[in-house]
Structure 1
Amino acid sequence: MVKKKNIAFNVAMGAAFLMAMSAVGPGFLTQTAAFTGQLGADFGFAILICILVDIGVQLNIWRIICVSGKKAQTVANELVPGLGYLLTALIVMGGLTFNIGNIGGVGLGFNVLFGISPENGALIGGAIALVIFLVRNALIVMDRTVQVLAVVKVLLIIFIVAISSPPVGQAALHTFVPSHIDFYSIVTIVGGTVGGYISFSGGHRLLEGGLRGKESIRYINAGALTGIGVASIIRILLFLAALAVIAEGYKLNPLNPAASIFQSAAGNFGYKFFGLILLAAGMTSTLGSTFTSVSFLDYSKSDDRNNFYHKLRPYLIIFFIVFSTAIFYFIGSPAKVLVMVGAINGLILPIALAILLVAVTKKKIMGELYKHPLWLTIFGWIIVVFMAYAGVQSVIKGFSSLF
């Protein structure tokens, strides 16, 4: 019994860190630095909203997926036949495209640390990701890799904050009483850290680890809250580090605002720290994007490891990583495609969350005895409405920029 509890706890923590580190990838580093440079302490309000949305999204999605014992695409198909395939297309398309940026982050990290070209750094990163996924006990190796990189990331950011002396009082005041609310920054940071595949990474990891049913709710909650906590700590620390640099009168480099934070705080030493953080962020987001996107291609009816999906899975992973790496290596980040898919990605969260909130009312999906907490349902629908509006605005802005 003790061993079973330990396994369940380890799976929950693996899911927690996979979700948290997927949420704070290379894009998040850049967005946080850029918006803090533009808004100063007022950006703390956007961070606060992001954390609140994170709580509502993750607790709902993890619980519904795991109590039903079915992945999101299966839940969607049982609700409306064919709906799961649409959800899969949205998640995989978004995950595949944004993985180009994740791999690019790894390449840039290697470039800062060792001076090799970002393209060759991306090749190294892609090879490392393939090794992690294709070894025996790949999920355990993935969990441990993500956890180690998370600790590295947190410690390095804590060091930068400690030597920067940020204006904590000012940050706290403007977080709860902002002098200016920038809606676009809220939409961007929420969409980039909770939208798309990220919302499902933890829940699908729990299912892969065998956690399902009402009896697993304590582990579901522990994993979700731990993941939200870790991601939130990194968000807050990076915000404080950026604010400290700005408060000293430094101007962040618009071409690489995140690097400016570390370089301004600790010179070339800090710049190398940034390279390590960027490498860790890109690597963990690559693992999270690959695992979650490929998991959406699983429509098998059982956990039999000899079924068609599990036999095909290694090849899907290889294609996913090789394709993303090749696009970055030969073409770079295709800006127009990223803008278009980014705009569409803003709609994935409200669509997916709405599907699951409707599904949770169906006893044929959730079982006769399960009753979803009312506060979670209300919280979830508020987020659906908010993010649907925000997503539509992002689509309009994204497509208008193409013409």
Structure 2
Amino acid sequence: MDSGNFLTVLRVHIIQKEILMNKNNQKKNAGALIGAAFLMATSAIGPGFLTQTGKFTDSLHGSFGFVILISIILAAIVQLNVWRVLCVSGMRGQDVANKVLPGLGYVVAFLIVAGGLVFNIGNVGGGALGFNTLLGIPTTAGYFLAGAIAVLVFLFKNALKAMDTLTKVLGGLMIAVIFVVILIVRPPVGYALKETVAPSAPMGDIFPAILTLLGGTVGGYITFAGAHRLIDAGITKKENLSEIRKSSVMGLGIATIVRVLLFLAILGVVVATATSGAHTLDPSNPAADAFKIGAGEIGYRFFGLVLLCAAITSIVGCAYTSVSFLKTFSKVIEKNEKWFIVGFIILSTIVMTLIGQPATLLVLAGALNGLILPITLGVCLVASKKKTIMGEDYHHPTWLLILGIIVVIISAYLGITSLGNLATLFA
């Protein structure tokens, strides 16, 4: 073979190799983008969210659709702002906060991790209740089973890929199971649509529900779960902004689908329909009671499966995101990240086993999250206008900035009102 032919063959080989590498990178990026979307969505739909939906649908009926609509709009404003700032800058929440005001990142990290630990204790409890409802397993054993499944995810060689897969599979399973229950209970969709745009319930009852749902779905670690996953995957900077936006919108879409389907499934039980009369739900476990009334014993087992999926994905997302707030402060944590995540889950499981009922801790967590959201969103809005953080050629959309400021004011009000709950800890 002469030198000319050899060089031609070599060029072809190099081009083919580059094409293959590009395809592999695109596939890897697509997996991370979808994984980040599901991580954000499933983190927002934990055991607490299921209970809140059951409680408010029982009390507000169709008007809870309006609550969901407003909370989705507010959550979208938060997530679109946070994802853009963190991913374009390539810095995690605590690092952005330290750039805005030196030392603030440590305060934010402490609040996120403290609130995340408390919520994770509740998530472990939710997993145990899921096992008990689905299979009749005693709650004490359920604590360890839920914790063990979450730990197993991070023992895989490629833990992030395993986490992505788990959240996608369990998130999809939740949607499928809830949809089956909807087919059984046949909710009044027309009535739900009417109440969503023109609620009949008093605004005095609707406004607190909006604040509660907002704090529970974009408060604390949940705000950062998806963005931190993309940063770990290296999908950052302005040139990837379209992919970042798609992933955040996909996450919001997944969370919205689950919220709407769960609302409809419960609404079909608490209001009179063509196939059944109205029912009042058991306040101790309203969502489980709705599934049992609507679809019998199989519906009750279905709820156990939904609760289990919600709990496991929330345990994984909470542990991963909480530790991600610490690893930039310590090389030891960064180097041994997955073992710190495992330790976080084990600690949550042990505390849940010891205290049994985490009600007091959950009050504290709610108050912490109410305080965290206006601080973290406010930091991101300030950072969006700093070229030293975002780069010289980045321009944050003015409409998104203005809407973000409005949400900061609303969430600050939520934080102030949640402080009153702290008094119950010492009553």
Q: Measure, in 2, the Cα distance between the counterparts of 1:282 and 1:330.
A: 19
Q: Is the 8 A contact 2:333 2:340 kept in 1?
A: no
Q: Measure, in 2, the Cα distance between the counterparts of 1:199 and 1:380.
A: 13
Report the Cα offset of residue 312 of structure 1.
2.7
SS in 2 for 1:349: helix
Q: Measure, in 2, the Cα distance between the counterparts of 1:6 and 1:373.
A: 30
Alignment of 1:367-378 (within 5 A): 367-378=391-402
Residues 301-326 of structure 1, C-alpha deviations (whole Å, 9 max, x = no match): 9xxxxx53332323311221111101
Report the Cα offset of residue 4 of structure 1.
2.3
How many residues are paired up? 398
Q: Measure, in 2, the Cα distance between the counterparts of 1:298 and 1:363.
A: 25
Specify the alignment match of 1:276 in structure 2.
305
Q: Is the 8 A contact 1:262 1:271 kept in 2?
A: yes
Q: Measure, in 1, the Cα distance between the counterparts of 2:405 and 2:266.
A: 33
2:99 aligns with one of 70, 78, 81 = 78
Report the Cα offset of residue 340 of structure 1.
2.2
SS in 1 for 2:154: helix
Specify the alignment match of 1:296 in structure 2.
325
2:30 aligns with one of 1, 9, 16 = 9
SS in 2 for 1:134: coil
Specify the alignment match of 1:340 in structure 2.
364
1:120 aligns with one of 121, 129, 141 = 141
Q: Look up the equivalent residue of 1:24 and give its one-letter code.
A: I
Report the Cα offset of residue 300 of structure 1.
6.0
Report the Cα offset of residue 294 of structure 1.
0.4
1:190 aligns with one of 191, 208, 214 = 214
Specify the alignment match of 1:45 in structure 2.
66
Report the Cα offset of residue 347 of structure 1.
1.4
Report the Cα offset of residue 334 of structure 1.
3.0
In the alignment, is residue 260 of structure 1 matched against residue 289 of structure 2?
yes
Specify the alignment match of 1:380 in structure 2.
404
1:351 aligns with one of 375, 388, 393 = 375
Residues 176-228 of structure 1, C-alpha deviations (whole Å, 9 max, x = no match): 11122221111111100111100100000000111110011111111100100
Report the Cα offset of residue 356 of structure 1.
0.8
In the alignment, is residue 224 of structure 1 matched against residue 228 of structure 2?
no
SS in 1 for 2:294: helix
Q: Measure, in 2, the Cα distance between the counterparts of 1:71 and 1:244.
A: 42
SS in 1 for 2:341: helix
2:349 aligns with one of 278, 300, 325 = 325
Q: Is the 8 A contact 1:340 1:399 kept in 2?
A: no
1:155 aligns with one of 176, 186, 189 = 176
Specify the alignment match of 1:144 in structure 2.
165
Q: Measure, in 1, the Cα distance between the counterparts of 2:345 and 2:106.
A: 22
Change in Cα spacing, 1:397 to 1:96, as seen in structure 2 (3 Å) is closer
Q: Measure, in 1, the Cα distance between the counterparts of 2:224 and 2:278.
A: 40
Q: Rg bigger for which structure?
A: 2
Q: Is the 8 A contact 1:11 1:206 kept in 2?
A: yes
Q: Measure, in 1, the Cα distance between the counterparts of 2:135 and 2:368.
A: 36
Unaligned runs of 5+ in 1: 302-306
Unaligned runs of 5+ in 2: 1-21, 272-276
Q: Measure, in 2, the Cα distance between the counterparts of 1:148 and 1:341.
A: 28
Is the deviation greater in 3-12 or in 69-78? Answer: 3-12
2:279 aligns with one of 235, 250, 254 = 250
Q: Is the 8 A contact 2:38 2:171 kept in 1?
A: yes
Alignment of 1:300-319 (within 5 A): 308-319=332-343
Is the deviation greater in 256-265 or in 314-323? Answer: 314-323
Report the Cα offset of residue 17 of structure 1.
0.1
Is the deviation greater in 175-184 or in 282-291? Answer: 175-184
Q: Measure, in 1, the Cα distance between the counterparts of 2:83 and 2:230.
A: 8
In the alignment, is residue 235 of structure 1 matched against residue 264 of structure 2?
no
Q: Is the 8 A contact 1:336 1:402 kept in 2?
A: no
Q: Look up the equivalent residue of 1:59 and give its one-letter code.
A: L
Alignment of 1:81-100 (within 5 A): 81-100=102-121
Specify the alignment match of 1:304 in structure 2.
none
Q: Measure, in 2, the Cα distance between the counterparts of 1:234 and 1:191.
A: 17
Report the Cα offset of residue 402 of structure 1.
4.5
Q: Is the 8 A contact 1:119 1:328 kept in 2?
A: no
Q: Measure, in 2, the Cα distance between the counterparts of 1:270 and 1:288.
A: 27
Q: Look up the equivalent residue of 1:217 and give its one-letter code.
A: L
Q: Look up the equivalent residue of 2:46 and give its one-letter code.
A: G
Is the deviation greater in 149-158 or in 291-300? Answer: 291-300
Q: Measure, in 2, the Cα distance between the counterparts of 1:8 and 1:399.
A: 47
Report the Cα offset of residue 362 of structure 1.
0.9
Q: Measure, in 1, the Cα distance between the counterparts of 2:252 and 2:64.
A: 19
Report the Cα offset of residue 400 of structure 1.
5.4
Cα RMSD, aligned residues only: 1.4
Residues 284-304 of structure 1, C-alpha deviations (whole Å, 9 max, x = no match): 000110010000002169xxx
Change in Cα spacing, 1:291 to 1:45, as seen in structure 2 (3 Å) is same
TM-score normalized with structure 1 length? 0.96
Q: Measure, in 2, the Cα distance between the counterparts of 1:191 and 1:210.
A: 29
Report the Cα offset of residue 158 of structure 1.
0.4
Report the Cα offset of residue 47 of structure 1.
0.4
Q: Is the 8 A contact 1:66 1:207 kept in 2?
A: yes
Q: Measure, in 2, the Cα distance between the counterparts of 1:5 and 1:377.
A: 31
In the alignment, is residue 18 of structure 1 matched against residue 39 of structure 2?
yes
Q: Is the 8 A contact 2:122 2:358 kept in 1?
A: no
